[in-house]
Amino acid sequence: MSMDITAPMPGKIASIPMSVGSKVTEDDEVIIMDAMKMEIPVYATGSGTLKEFKVKVGDSVTEGQVLAIIE
């Protein structure tokens, strides 16, 4: 079963400290966003392997947009 990691608010992707194939557990920091002049960490929604990133550094995103998929 796959799980989506979504943007908690509109912003820009500042960094992606993980890579595809990385093992993650719930609440691991997967993506860092810039929003409201702050760095906002985006956490894994469950445990598994990072299957795919739907964004890259510098992309602007909207609230609820899928950023990555965990399998």
- The confidence score (pLDDT) of residue 53 equals 98
Phi and psi (nearest 5°) for 9? -165, 170
- The highest-level CATH class for domain 3-70 is mainly beta
Query: Which residues touch 60 (CB under 8 Å, ≥6 apart)?
Result: 10, 11, 12
Return d(Cα 14, Cα 1) in angstroms, integer: 28
This model's pTM is above 0.85:
yes
Average pLDDT over residues 49-64: 98
- The confidence score (pLDDT) of residue 1 equals 81
Return d(Cα 49, Cα 21) in angstroms, integer: 6
Return d(Cα 8, Cα 22) in angstroms, integer: 22
Q: Note the pLDDT tens digit of each residue in 2-50.
A: 999 999 999 999 999 999 999 999 999 999 999 989 999 999 999 999 9
> Domain segments of the chain: what residues?
3-70
